[in-house]
């Protein structure tokens, strides 16, 4: 890439940069994984998986790509295929997976489709045990429950819960007594009782995973004023993303 090209590349957004990198890779190696499509009732072809590969191929100047035609497929099955592909491409947290699999179950129930654990496992590409655990987590930490914990505002509670590990979420879900579960949730969130209510301290930093693989780390307090535990938490959040950056750099060096 010449100097002018590098300047233009650096001005692109993150998603555009990823697409440009994909196009460059396709230009050198071609499209190695077939693009999955289905036949629609009006005899047209609809892409199910591989939209970014197809866009990258166009940018690379290709006129032909390998295609896997799944033939006629119902809209619910097509949606499940697209969902499964996105699940393997995106970086979902345990909480996001729990919310997502519950939404899929509700949608399949509304469409009179099989929505048991085995059927959901087949749709999501997950083991039955994982699906069962995720459903249990979402049942225990339902929207109404989170709203009650947050005294009418579930957003802050959910943001804090979304950063919890799969082990911590599983332990919460295993507590059948609601009062005991709430007390444990308060403890894990660092909330304390004050004047008969619950006071939630403002987090010094937060980490939110975005759809598409991006992320956002927000620091709300000067590092110089942070306590040891807060600094350790921030260091862990930054280090986890630096690991991804280093891995990407190594991959680019080898290509």
- Give me the domains of the chain, ranges plus CATH numbers: 1-73 (3.90.1530.30), 204-255 (no CATH)
Half-sphere exposure of 22 (CA within 13 A, CB side): 20
pLDDT attached to residue 174: 92
Average pLDDT on 20-39 reads: 81
- Which backbone phi and psi does 187 adopt, to 5 degrees? -65, -45
Residue pair 100/92 in contact (Cβ under 8 Å)? The answer is yes
Mean pLDDT over 125-151 rounds to 89
pLDDT value of residue 89: 53
Give the dihedral of Cα atoms 126, 131, 134, 138; nearest 10 deg: 130
Task: Round the average pLDDT of the chain to a whole number and report it.
Answer: 77
Nearest to 23 by CA among 49, 52, 47: 52
| Pairwise pLDDT comparison (248 vs 117), residue with the higher score | 117
16-25, 44-53, 66-75, 132-141: which range is least confident on average?
Answer: 16-25
Question: Cβ contacts of residue 184 below 8 Å, gap of 6+?
Answer: 171, 172, 175
d(CA 206, CA 220): 8
Confidence bin at 186 (pLDDT 50/70/90): confident
14 has a pLDDT exceeding 50: no
The pLDDT value given to residue 3: 41
On whether the CB atoms of residues 222 and 214 are closer than 8 A, the answer is no
Greater pLDDT, 114 or 155: 114
């Amino acid at each position: 890439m010449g100097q002018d090209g590098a300047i233009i590349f650096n001005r692109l957004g993150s998603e555009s940069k990823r697409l440009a990198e994909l196009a460059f890779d396709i230009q050198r190696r071609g499209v190695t994984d077939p693009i999955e499509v289905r036949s629609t009732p009006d005899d047209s072809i609809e892409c199910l998986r591989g939209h970014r590969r197809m866009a990258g191929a166009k940018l690379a100047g290709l006129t032909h790509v390998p295609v896997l035609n799944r033939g006629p497929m119902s809209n619910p099955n097509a949606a499940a295929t697209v969902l499964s592909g996105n699940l393997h491409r995106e970086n979902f947290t345990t909480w996001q997976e729990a919310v997502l699999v519950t939404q899929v179950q509700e949608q399949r129930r509304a469409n009179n489709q099989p929505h048991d654990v085995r059927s959901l496992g087949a749709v999501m590409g997950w083991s039955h045990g994982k699906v069962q655990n995720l459903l249990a987590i979402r049942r225990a930490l339902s929207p109404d429950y989170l709203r009650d914990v947050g005294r009418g505002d579930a957003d802050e509670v959910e943001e804090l819960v979304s950063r919890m590990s799969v082990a911590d979420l599983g332990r919460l879900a295993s507590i059948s007594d609601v009062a005991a579960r709430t007390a444990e949730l308060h403890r894990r969130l660092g909330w304390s009782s004050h004047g008969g209510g619950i006071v939630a301290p403002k987090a010094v930093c937060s980490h939110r995973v975005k759809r598409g693989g991006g992320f956002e780390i927000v620091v709300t307090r000067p590092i110089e004023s942070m306590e040891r535990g807060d600094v350790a938490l921030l260091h862990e959040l930054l280090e986890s993303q630096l690991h991804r950056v280093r891995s990407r750099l190594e991959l680019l060096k080898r290509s």
